[in-house]
Amino acid sequence: MSNSTERSLPPEWDDDERMNFMFSDFKENREVNTTDWDSKMDFWTALVIQNCRDRGTVCVNLQDMNKSFRRKEKSPLGLPTVIQSMARCGKIQRESEFAANVDCGWLSWGVGLLLVKPLKWTFSTLLGSSHVTLEESFVVIELVKEKAAELLRVYRSSEFASRSILSFQELCTLSSDVCADESTLCMALLQLQRDKQVTVSLHEGEKIVKFCQPGQDRISPVSDVDIGIYQLQRSEKLLGERVEKLGLEADKCKEEARVLLRDGKKTQALRCLRGRKRVEKRADNLFAKLESIRGILDRIAQSQTDKMVMQAYQAGVAALRLSLKDVTVERAESLVDQIQELCDTQDEVNQTISGGVTSGDEDMDELEEELKLLLNESMPDAVLPEIPTNPLGPIRELSLPGKNLPTVPQSHLNITTEQLEEELNQLTLTDSGFQQKNSPAKRLEPAQ
């Protein structure tokens, strides 16, 4: 048993009494003691899954389990029952059944990849045998889903993410840190194929894997366009390797010529330089072809982008046509006219309201007559003075009873400050009961 497995063993593994119970076989009837039966089943189920996870595999068989869980020269007696119970619960599945659930059928590409012969699987599946053999392999559903997700993540984060098709050998190299062996890789691909994320097919005897690209809901079948792009990418890779190899060969010839020249072998040095020129010429020709292939691939990538843009345009035109289905120019003009008419009506209403209510001249004459009658009723004996029609004559002196007022000066004023103060004192002492401090009328004597 590996060290990683030893580290993942449960704490009670060293308890002899507890392990004697766990290593014993299950009772034929679970109802005899459901608690003990279920606790033993849960113990071995969790241990089987953890053991597979530690080993980096998604498949398990009875023979490997007996070796992994061997303790003090004893193997658990109830492991066949554990496998059957896990199969009934859907936690594990026979490899044949797991592969048969894939739509395209893995037999077209997977013969010789997996460890167990498909013919044996099909025979046992048709018979419906519940007997678990030592070499019969089962897939742990939980682990194969984890591996599939991890494989897809590794592909999308790699340098091959821009390529939709990879060869099976390229994928094996890429997933070496994820899948412990080829069988694990095949199971992960089957799960991705079931999830519509990849499709696997054969091309000229070579297994190729097509991945679903971002933005696609599900994988599409391998088309002639995909095959053409894959061949161009392979040619690009091969030409790149050859150009790199020729470059190294040219450098080698140059170094040899330098060594020969240092040794005084000029003729041989010239021969090496001629060989270097030939190699460089071949490298230039291959590099020109490589650039042509890269240009074609760039155009293909651009065309795919253009195709996506055209599809987006088509979808936009369809949506716009649907949204403008009931919209016409005549209806738009009619609506604009109606809106303008309503705006004009609103402006007229606002102008009428802001102008207020005006009355005619007849109403004003009636109001003046009514006002005159009211005045006559309130002052019946009062005689109102006549309004003078002539210009104002000279100013006359008014006499008030008991008061002697100064005459209004007719000449220009020429008064000193001392006269004004004296006049103010006289006005103040004249009548203590009559206040003239702020009176505008002052007696002003003209200066002599």
The pLDDT value recorded for residue 379 is 65
Task: Give 38's contacts (C-beta < 8 A, 6+ positions apart).
Answer: 30
d(CA 411, CA 123) in angstroms, rounded, equals 150
d(CA 139, CA 190) in angstroms, rounded, equals 11
Number of H helices, E strands in the chain: 16, 6
Hey, which residues does 201 pair with through a beta bridge? 208
d(CA 316, CA 321) in angstroms, rounded, equals 8
Task: Give 79's contacts (C-beta < 8 A, 6+ positions apart).
Answer: 44, 62, 65, 66, 69
Residue linked to tokens 């009355």: 359
Residues in the chain, how many?
A: 448
Q: At 50, list the tokens.
A: 């953890």
The pLDDT value recorded for residue 408 is 56
Which stretches of 62-166 are DSSP H helices?
Answer: 62-68, 79-89, 95-100, 107-110, 118-127, 141-156
Rounded to the nearest 5 percent, the helix, strand and coil shares of the chain are: 60, 5, 30
pTM above 0.75, yes or no: no
d(CA 130, CA 85) in angstroms, rounded, equals 11
Describe the strand order of the beta sheet including 137-140 as a list of residue ranges: 59-61, 137-140, 92-94
d(CA 142, CA 74) in angstroms, rounded, equals 29
Q: At 115, list the tokens.
A: 């460890």
The pLDDT value recorded for residue 447 is 44
Does residue 187 contact residue 59 with C-beta atoms inside 8 Å? yes
Which own/partner pairs from 271-275 qualify as long-range (CB within 8 Å, at least 24 positions apart)? none
Q: At 103, list the tokens.
A: 């739509």
The pLDDT value recorded for residue 123 is 41
User: Dihedral, CA atoms, 143, 147, 149, 155, nearest 10 degrees?
Assistant: 180
The pLDDT value recorded for residue 386 is 62
Does residue 271 contact residue 307 with C-beta atoms inside 8 Å? no
pLDDT in tens, the chain (448 residues): 444 444 578 888 888 888 888 888 888 777 777 888 888 899 999 999 998 898 888 888 888 888 888 888 888 888 888 998 898 888 998 888 888 776 544 444 443 343 334 434 444 443 444 567 877 889 999 999 999 999 999 999 988 888 888 888 889 999 888 888 888 898 899 999 888 888 888 888 888 898 988 777 788 888 888 888 888 888 888 899 899 999 999 898 888 888 888 888 888 888 888 888 999 999 999 999 989 988 888 888 788 788 888 888 988 998 888 888 878 888 888 889 999 999 999 988 888 888 765 555 556 778 788 878 888 777 655 555 665 665 555 545 445 454 555 565 555 556 677 776 777 677 666 554 444 444 444 444 444 4
d(CA 134, CA 64) in angstroms, rounded, equals 8
Pairing mode, if any, of strands 165-167 and 92-94? Answer: unpaired
d(CA 448, CA 131) in angstroms, rounded, equals 155
